[in-house]
A = this chain, B = another copy of it.
Amino acid sequence: MKINELTTPALVAEGSVLRSNLAEMASALPGDRLRPHVKAHKCTALAHLQAEFGHKGFTCATIAEMEAMAAAGLGEDLLLANEVADATRLGRLVDAGAAVTLAVDSEHTIDAAARAGVRHVLIDVNVGLPRCGCNPSDAARLADLARKRGIEVNGVMGYEGHIVGLTDRKERAAGVEASMALLTEAHSEVGGEIISAGGTGTYDLNPWATEIQAGSYALMDTAYGALGLPFGQALGVLSTVISSNDEWAVCDAGLKSLGMDHGNPAIEDHRVWFCSDEHITFDPPEPVGTRLLVIPAHVDPTVAYHSTLNVTDGEDVLEQWPIDMRGW
């Protein structure tokens, strides 16, 4: 199949760039030094490829991702790096033989884990991003509480999400160090073997974490592309020009095929004016029928709009991978 046979908009990833990104990361963070975050691609076929590159443990953001990974035979070491108010479905995964570790940051989430039969947790510690995670000073109390409920506390996690996107590398390095000072202090009181943290923007700036949760590195987007990382832009949304005049043209990607929270996507050698539901207005104009590659600003919410990832080699579509971890 040729890429020109794809119905547009179509999610595409250049296979050689994807493999190069996986090789680069596996060289920097081999084996269990990386726990790839599947939320960035939501695709078990891509996760299988990451496993081939040596990473057997994975990070998930939703229970549905955990279930899909286990169903795909990738359940030997799954971390749900997120809190859940009801862990019932995770208990079922444990019963079915998956190795499940769950982030907890409160009495409620520990209770949910215990009642559901989840037997391994990490204490999620707030390291500066105002989101999930307990106050570092509360980590030891929560670990004790979990152990009293018969749960094994394997360590801590803390996501420096306020740091990973800073464009200045020195600022990122300083931010990671400050965040990890909080996390390692909490870890010294909690115990356990795991200190889980990090993302694509800080993967090589974090010697304190025992494992890094990066995900975006595989496919990439314009936001991470601005950081000068050694990962190429594998992902694009293939689009067709449907309207054109002397001043601008319009292609058929838009708000329903692109995550927009990081702003407009990019089209090489063109300027994006704005996006509508099924349109991007841009200049300079191109003739109707021209196919263009649109580069998303944010990979995760872009992938979540699509049902298929088309892996390409130039003009050829090599494989069509289901985006099979969507929904909740």
Q: Interface residues, chain A, CB within 8 Å of chain B?
A: 7-10, 39, 61-62, 82-86, 105-106, 108-109, 126, 130-135, 161, 240-245, 247-248, 250, 252, 255-257, 259-261, 273, 275-279, 281, 287-289, 298, 300-301, 304-305, 307, 326-328
Contact = CB atoms under 8 A, between A and B. Distances in A.
Contacts of A247: 130
Nearest to A306: B327
A244 B287 CA distance: 53
Contacts of A135: 245
A39 B277 contact: yes
Interface secondary structure of A, over-half rule: loop
A242 B133 CA distance: 10
A242 to B, nearest CB: 4
A131 B300 contact: no
Contact of A298 (B105, B255, B281): B255
Oligomer copy total = 2
A252 B255 CA distance: 22
Given A82-B279, A256-B300, 11 more contacts: A9-B328, A10-B328, A39-B277, A83-B250, A85-B240, A85-B242, A108-B287, A109-B288, A130-B281, A131-B243, A255-B259
A182 to B, nearest CB: 15
B281 A61 contact: no
Interface centre among A243, A245, A304, A305 (most CB of B within 10 A): A243
Contact of A130 (B39, B126, B273): B273
B277 A61 contact: yes
A241 B86 CA distance: 11
A321 to B, nearest CB: 15
A299 to B, nearest CB: 10
A242 B84 contact: yes
Given A106-B244, A281-B131, A288 B255 contact: no
